[in-house]
Structure 1
Amino acid sequence: MNYQAASDYILHRLRTQLSPSLSYHGVHHTLDVLQTAQALAEAEGITDEASLILLQTAACFHDAGFLTTYEGHEEQGCLLVREVLPGFGYLPEQLEMICSLIMATQIPQSPQTHLERILCDADLDYLGRDDFAPIADSLFQELRTRGSVTDTPVWNRIQVKFLENHRYWTPTAIAWRQAGKEQQLAALRTLVEAETN
């Protein structure tokens, strides 16, 4: 597996070919997920090099489907994985593992393996971070551009429901982010209450 060449390839495509309207799902999000997945894997005791490479590759490709579609981007990402990664020395069983990792990030998340739990937690790490507000706003802008969300009060209610239904899967993410996520949820509930009164 030539991970360096594979990651260079997809990150270049994400930088140059993603729609500018993807204010949340841009290359910055992919890089954030990659960095977080690496940190979580280390904290979770993942030391097997092949497993780490598969996790990192999946992080790089997890939103690559946005190059061609918005709905069902995970499936499109898997098509891309199967198309291009053999050229970087990835074997069929490695492609399937990468696709399982990508599909686990689909909302609602349903990770089955330790690596899938790590990638799912990396993908939504921001929910419990100090930079939650600007990142959430970038998603609001993206969805508003697509006509999926109309205004801030509606968006705040969507976020409350999303945070209520979300869970972190790894002990590390729970330790790092759960308290922060609960603070965000409490603040959003206060906003929604004020908007409905």
Structure 2
Amino acid sequence: MDCHRAETYVLRELRAHLSPTLYYHGLHHTLDVVQQAQALAEGEGITDSELLALLRTAAYYHDSGFMTTYQGHEAAGCDLARRVLPDLEYTPAQIELICDLIMATRLPQSPGDSLLAKILCDADLDYLGRPDDFWPISQTLRKELEVHGSAVDDHTWNLGQEKFLSTHHYWTTTATARREAAKQARLAEVRALLA
């Protein structure tokens, strides 16, 4: 499998075709997920080079479906992977694993027993437990949702944040250790705003 060409291709396509109104789901988010997935894989002790490469490819492609649709973007990302990756020497089994990882990130997340899927899910929502950029990133999501038809007042937004943070959980031991305490602090801040 030619991971370098797969990554180069999707990065070029994302730069050319992602809407500038994807304030949260822009290229910066994809690059962050790639970085977090690698860090989590290391923390979880994954050393198999093929598994690491498949996880990395899935991270690069996980939101590529936003180039064509807002709703159902995970399935659209899988369509892109199935169309592009065979020509880059990925086997059908590797492509289906990549698609399984992408589909696991659909909300509500459902990674099942797959450690790779758990890692990708945790990488995708890593910001929830980051002390420095949770608030600015959450505002980019709010701005993006407003553009795509989900404008809400401050109170309603904070209620949604409270519900999401209180029901979310990290799937891997590494993400839980790295992010859960800070996520609980953000939850307390949101509850203070609602009080």
TM-score where L is the length of structure 1: 0.97
Q: Which one-letter code corresponds to 2:121 in the other structure?
A: C
The CA deviation string for residues 22-68 of structure 1, in whole angstroms up to 9 with x for no partner, is 00000000000000000000111000000000000000000000000
Aligned residues: 193
Residue by residue over 1:136-155, the C-alpha shift from the partner in whole angstroms, topping out at 9 and shown as x without a partner, is 00000000111213222211
Note the residue ranges of structure 1 that are not aligned, 5 or more in a row. Answer: none
Q: Which residue of 1 aligns with 2:17?
A: 17
The aligned amino acid for 1:141 is: K
1:60 alignment partner, SS class: helix
**Counterpart of 2:117 in structure 1: which amino acid?**
E
1:54 corresponding residue in structure 2 = 54
2:181 & 2:149 partners in 1: Cα distance?
32
Alpha-carbon distance in 2 for matches of 1:48, 1:164: 34
Q: What SS does the aligned partner of 2:162 have?
A: helix
Residue 37 of structure 2 corresponds to which residue in structure 1? 37
Q: Which position in structure 1 is the counterpart of 2:181?
A: 179
Taking the aligned partners of 2:127 and 2:165, their CA distance within structure 1 comes to: 11
Is 1:155 paired with 2:157?
yes
TM-score computed with the length of structure 2 as normaliser: 0.97
Question: 1:118 aligns to what?
Answer: 119
Q: Which amino acid aligns with 1:166?
A: H
Listed as ranges, the gaps of 5+ residues in structure 2 are none
What letter is aligned with 1:133?
Answer: W
CA RMSD of aligned residues (A): 0.7
Distance 1:104 1:190 in 2: 32
